[in-house]
Amino acid sequence: MNHLSAVKHVIIVLSGKGGVGKSTIAVQIALGLHAAGKKVGLLDVDLCGPSIPKMFNLEGRDIHQCPEGWLPVYVDKEQRIGVMSIGFLLEDLNDAVVWRGPKKNAMIKQFLSDVYWQDLDYLIIDTPPGTSDEHITVMEALRAYNPDGAILVTTPQAVAVGDVRRELTFCHKTGIPVVGIVENMSGYVCPHCSECTNIFSKGGGRALAQQNNVPFLGSIPIDRHLTLSVDTGKNFLESNPGSPALTAIDHMVKKL
Ligand code: ADP
């Protein structure tokens, strides 16, 4: 089966550390592209921490099979955002996936080959943090399909940015282009006085992009409505017009 050949653009979302907002950004990219009229798939290969079903309020949904393969779970009635995640295969999302590398790699390969996405404009792939076996499996499997490349998500502080530097090296070594770097949790704008506090410092992601000559896709501020939307599976882009985080997400998506 070769369902990925019907996908126009493939983007992999990477981060050096957990908790920097990688899955959040993957979801916002999918929603932003959908809002721009694109048909989007989101593949969650973070097998040990699948958070995408919750972020779309799709917990408890089942995967169905058709003659062509697994059908994604659709977020909307029009079937323009499809999601595939190991979370749909677990009886309970709180179950731990205790698998060794080969089993995880086999599952990822199956996700990449057997999901019947149909004609997608964009497939966004959310990965586990770091650079592990799973990433190598994804990169190797995708190379034949000329993916657009990887988006690297970081928070602004030096420790997180250092990890993203390693992600950049990983992309170069595996031959995957870098679409760009996103600096997430970049300052907090007070909703009362509009003053911006740089809780996790500022500018590390932009500086890293400049140093390495890769595109900078933007700085997304901390926004408690974004946390809330992600926790409850609401569409942040529809429910928070005009917020600084939404504007930044909008600019990021336009650069893809
Ligand atoms: P990762 O995938 O890197 O582990 P997540 O996407 O799961 O990180 O995000 C971790 C937490 O941070 C989530 O609760 C999410 O809602 C929150 N979060 C991410 N980005 C932002 C942001 N810009 N503003 C507010 N909360 C955010």
- Residue percentage of the chain with pLDDT more than 90: 71
Rounded to the nearest angstrom, the distance between the alpha carbon of 154 and the centre of ligand 1 is 11
Q: Which pLDDT belongs to residue 13?
A: 97
Question: Would the pLDDT of 96 be above 80?
Answer: no
Residue 39 phi/psi, 5° resolution? -95, 125
CA of 15 relative to ligand 1 center, distance in Å: 12
1 against 238, higher pLDDT: 238
Q: Specify the pTM.
A: 0.95
Find out whether 134 and 128 touch, Cβ atoms under 8 Å: yes
Q: Is the minimum distance from the CB of 164 to ligand 1 under 6 angstroms?
A: no
| Chain mean pLDDT for the chain | 92
Give pLDDT tens digits for 30-49. Answer: 999 999 999 999 999 998 88
Q: Tell whether 21 is in a known binding site.
A: yes
What are the structural domains of the chain? Answer: 3-254 (3.40.50.300)
98 vs 110, more confident: 110
CA distance 254 to 244: 16
Amino acid at 66: C
Burial level of 226, CB count in 10 A (0-12/13-18/19+)?
buried
For a pocket test of ligand 1, which of 48, 167, 229, 230 has the largest count of ligand atoms closer than 8 A to its C-beta?
Answer: 230
Confirm whether residue 37 is marked as ligand binding.
no
220 C-beta closer than 6 A to ligand 1: yes
Among 55-64, 95-104, 110-119, 142-151, which stretch is predicted with the lowest mean pLDDT? Answer: 95-104
Those residues whose C-beta lies under 8 Å from the C-beta of residue 82, and which sit 6 or more positions away, are: 40, 41, 42, 71, 72, 73, 74, 75, 117, 120
> How many angstroms separate the alpha carbon of residue 22 from the centre of ligand 1?
7
Q: What is the pLDDT of residues 150-188, one digit of tens each?
A: 999 999 987 878 889 999 999 999 999 999 999 999 999
